[in-house]
Amino acid sequence: MGNAYREAGVDIAAGDRFIDMIKPMVKSTFRPEVLTDLGGFGGLFGIDKNKYTEPVLVSGTDGVGTKLKIAFMMDKHDTIGIDLVAMCVNDIVVSGAEPLFFLDYFATGKLSPEKATEVMKGIVEGCKQAGCALIGGETAEMPGMYSEGEYDLAGFVVGIAEKSKIIDGKTMRPGDMIVGLESSGLHSNGFSLARKIVFENLEMKPTDRAVELNQPIGEALLTPTRIYVKPVLKLLQHFDIRALAHITGGGITENLPRVLPEGCQAKIRKGSWPVPPIFPFLQKYGKVEEEEMYRDFNMGIGMIAVVPYHQTEAFLSMAPWEGEKAHLLGEIVEGPNQVVYV
């Protein structure tokens, strides 16, 4: 058999070996609605007609940005897939949608089945945390497109929501309260700035221990993004949540206004939640203005819910039962659609 394609940099056999290595873990994410096995040209997924009156499909796509660079530096690849799933599923759950299935795109210059399998472990774990099935994906080997040992990731998710229960912020009104669910750290945003501060300004190595963080800086930066799907869907069963906002790039400053209706302003009280030490560390050594910190990073809050005043206390009490640490951040007042910090 000829090997011209392999000599050009593409090893089909390695790709086949990779598929064989990941089949069992991928199948572990399957839901009863999955109608196809791995290896087809498309993944089929059925919808339970008895569960929805007017089903609406909700889709999302994202990547993990330059957080990948930290995984390359540490040669640790088993958690970055969690970030990939998180960035997609957290985006669609804010509409009240349950994630159904996920697809991934993995591109690299030269495929290492072992390294790619480590990445897949994280994707599988993320899908399990979100309750969605990994029903397909694409592995692309493209010589000359990526530096040696590097790869890129993209994710795609499809979820479902009952049309009458879609959350869009339209029922929000002044007097509603703003509750935040804690993040696990930087999540997957702000890494271009974080890397500049840590590896250029401070000239640190990933294994260097930062006194303020009580752990190696690389571990702090690579902490996986929190997946809020299951707790949020559970909370939606008990509370009249007016709006949800996934706090990603742009921080609270730019993401919360995306769900504010006309005439509603978000008043956020600084100091009403604990800010993880990674943020003051970056602010101090990067000499970053406080206003920019709140725009570039999540500052310790990964998901925001707007709830009626009379349900606030119960919401704060129930969140820990769902594994979340919740804090009352502020309230909705009359005014232009923006966030005001007090």
How far does Cα 331 stand from its chain's mean position? 25
**Inter-residue contact 20 to 139 (CB < 8 Å):** no
Q: How confident is the model at residue 121 (pLDDT cuts 50, 70, 90)?
A: very high
Average pLDDT over residues 274-292: 95
How far does Cα 58 stand from its chain's mean position? 16
7: pLDDT strictly greater than 60: no
pLDDT of residue 1: 47
48: pLDDT strictly greater than 80: yes
Rounded CA separation 51/34 (Å) = 16
First to last CA, the chain: 70
- The more confidently predicted of residues 255 and 2 is 255
What percent of the chain shows pLDDT beyond 70? 96
Rounded CA separation 204/202 (Å) = 5
Rounded CA separation 111/140 (Å) = 8
Number of C-beta neighbours around residue 164 at 10 A: 9
Reported as a single tens digit per residue, the pLDDT across 10-46 is 666 777 787 787 788 888 888 888 888 877 788 898 9
pLDDT of residue 4: 54
- The more confidently predicted of residues 178 and 322 is 178
Measured at the CA of 161, the angle between CA 230 and CA 234, to 5 degrees, comes to: 25
Task: Name beta bridge partners: 273.
Answer: none
Instruction: Please state, in angstroms and as integers, the Cα–Cα distance from residue 194 to each residue in 240, 282, 323, following that order.
Output: 37, 7, 28
Q: What is the mean pLDDT of the chain?
A: 92
279: pLDDT strictly greater than 80: yes
77: pLDDT strictly greater than 80: yes
Q: Which domains does the chain have, with CATH numbers?
A: 4-165 (3.30.1330.10), 177-341 (3.90.650.10)
pLDDT of residue 11: 64
254: pLDDT strictly greater than 90: yes
Element (H, E) at 307: strand 301-307
Reported as a single tens digit per residue, the pLDDT across 82-93 is 999 999 999 999
Q: Shortest CA distance to 61 belongs to which of 156, 138, 150, 132?
A: 156
Average pLDDT over residues 104-115: 93
179: pLDDT strictly greater than 70: yes
Number of C-beta neighbours around residue 313 at 10 A: 12
The reported pTM is: 0.93
Point out the least confidently predicted range of 155-159, 176-180, 321-325: 321-325
Number of C-beta neighbours around residue 304 at 10 A: 24
pLDDT of residue 144: 87
What percent of the chain shows pLDDT beyond 90? 79
